[in-house]
A and B are shown apart, each in its own frame.
Chain A
Amino acid sequence: MKGRERILATLDGQPADALPFMPITMMFAADHVGVKYLEYATDYRVQVDAQLRVAEDYDFDYVSVISDPACEAADCGASVKFFPDQPPALDEENALLADKGKLSTLKAPDPSSGGRMHNRLKALSLFKRRAGGDKSIEGWVEGPCAEAADLRGINALMTDFYDDPGFVSGLFEFVLELELAFGKAQIAAGAELIGIGDAAASLVGPKFYEELVWPYETRLVDGLRASGARTRLHICGNTRSILAGMGRLGCDIVDLDSLAPVSQGRREMGPRQVLLGNIDPVRALRNGTPESVYDAVAECHREACNRFIVGAGCEVPRDTPAANLRAMARYAREHGTAELQPKADSSRGLP
């Protein structure tokens, strides 16, 4: 099977010759081809070259346009700091919506207007020409909580949940419109899978997640799915208190960061949810040995049972030993989905 076929089979509940292998690589990919991260994050040709090379050399089943959280915010006019060799980052001291009143006049940018969002669309078009049908092509948007934090400043947004929930809803409405337009443009440019990164959602706790964040995540997922894309949810951090809600979104893939046990994810999301993850990127993947990495992936697989994709809890750190990443690939390739079938009576999904 080709990587793309392997992923689609797994998402559709069909047997596959191996487990899909979909680790997030950004700085690792840039280093792999010897380019500075600034070039990777801002020049689509560099990113596409690096992603195709790293995917080929480590046998990934997909390529992705994910680069940093500041893409959409930059095009909205937010102050972003660029560094020579690490991801661009929002300048929170000068947050675009430090003054909440500015929300009413803020306009969602046109994704094709020549900015950072446009760069991402160009990457997808080039991926489509170069990756052919071999690798799955993933687009990427920020989720409502993450993008709201990028625009408002994360510290301010967290207290807004108590001080001004009406403003938070209004900001989420703006973000939803922005991200749906961006996601649809990415689908049109060649993405068949859209990753939704909503890191800040892990900070708010179950009450605000259910009341304020989840409804907007649901609308985003529904809108992207209605446009023909598969969806992947990635929430960094400790998501243990919101796992059930994440499972109810209907995403094709839910990533688990290393702080949320796979066994709990399976228990709370049921046997049909495709789970991706979740070995600790630093402690297990970067600092481990090929043998310990292989064993850690095996444990995730055991806890997830079937419907499982191999990956780390978050981005593969840039200085991860090549042999450790290859150990993950080896595990994926040695385990077809027929090997760990869910028990018929296993509503908890444990083998």
Chain B
Amino acid sequence: MSQFEEMQQAIIDGKAPVVKELTEQALRDGVKPAEFFPKAIVPAMNEVGRRMRDCEFFIPEVLIAARAARAATDILRPLLVGDEASRSAGTVVCCTVKGDLHDIGKNIVAMMLESAGFRIVDLGVDASPEKIVQAVQEHKANLVAMSALLTTTMVNMKAGIAALASAGLRDHVKIMVGGAPVTENWARSIGADGYGKDAPTAVDLARSLVAN
């Protein structure tokens, strides 16, 4: 098993200390930081997404796998220089919208996006439209991912989109939404660019939105 294959397996198995050790060893062996993403982290998290979609993995497995992936990315991010550092898949502002404190779905999406090579600006829960606008401006984000668990708070996704439009940012960012009560129709009706029905779908959607 190659170093990268071993690392992929350790991420899938959620073994953060092993991933950390393998990352450090590979760096000592001269592997370039940027190589880890396409050769180990992204394929491993793609496999985690597949297993989640196929009901082989559930939330505990996904969370420990994402934590293991982060054990590598925490070491690698500061080492990326020049082109490598700016060559992320995109910058995503993630949040649970105003009035809503439910964050496990948003957290999983954020972790999987990060493992897929996106730079994440996580605004946490109860994020106001103003906060979203500020984060997009400050971090020059090209994607906003909003989550809501309640029918009462999903309306605040619309407010977030309106605020981005008022700030003149709507044409500069793609917007994706998700959460239990959210539907494709709802996403379309509020002017979002896409709806992610689960975390793996959200990662695929983010990739396609950024590519377009």
Could you list which residues of chain A lie within 8 angstroms of chain B, going by C-beta atoms? 27, 81, 83, 85-87, 89-93, 154-155, 158-159, 161-163, 203-205, 208, 237, 240-241, 281-283, 286-287, 317-319
Contact = CB atoms under 8 A, between A and B. Distances in A.
Contacts, number: 69
A154 B104 contact: yes
A342 B181 CA distance: 34
Interface stretch (B20-28, B133-141, B146-154, B165-173): B146-154
B183 A283 contact: yes
A162 B14 contact: yes
Interface of B: 14, 55, 57-61, 63-64, 67, 99-104, 107, 124-125, 150-153, 180-181, 183, 185
B104 A241 contact: no
Nearest to A320: B151
Contacts of A317: 151, 181
Contacts of B14: 162
Given A86-B99, A240-B55, A155 B63 contact: yes
A27 B152 contact: yes
Given A204-B59, A317-B181, A162 B152 contact: no
A79 to B, nearest CB: 11
Lowest 7 CB-CB distances: which A-B pairs, in order? A205-B58, A203-B59, A89-B101, A317-B151, A161-B60, A86-B152, A282-B181
A55 B46 CA distance: 48
Nearest to A154: B104
Contact of A159 (B58, B60, B99, B150): B60
B101 A81 contact: yes
Given A162-B60, A282-B180, A282-B183, 20 more contacts: A81-B101, A92-B125, A93-B124, A155-B63, A158-B63, A159-B64, A161-B60, A162-B64, A203-B59, A204-B59, A204-B60, A205-B58, A205-B59, A208-B60, A237-B180, A240-B55, A286-B151, A287-B185, A318-B151, A318-B152
B151 A158 contact: no
A92 B101 CA distance: 8
Tell me whether chain A's interface is mostly helix, strand or loop, or mixed.
Answer: helix
A205 B99 contact: no
B27 to A, nearest CB: 26
B151 A282 contact: yes
B172 to A, nearest CB: 30
Contacts of B67: 159
Given A155-B104, A158-B59, A287-B185, A86 B64 contact: no
Given A86-B150, A90-B101, A158 B60 contact: yes
Contacts of B124: 93
Contacts of A286: 151
Nearest to A161: B60
A241 B152 contact: no
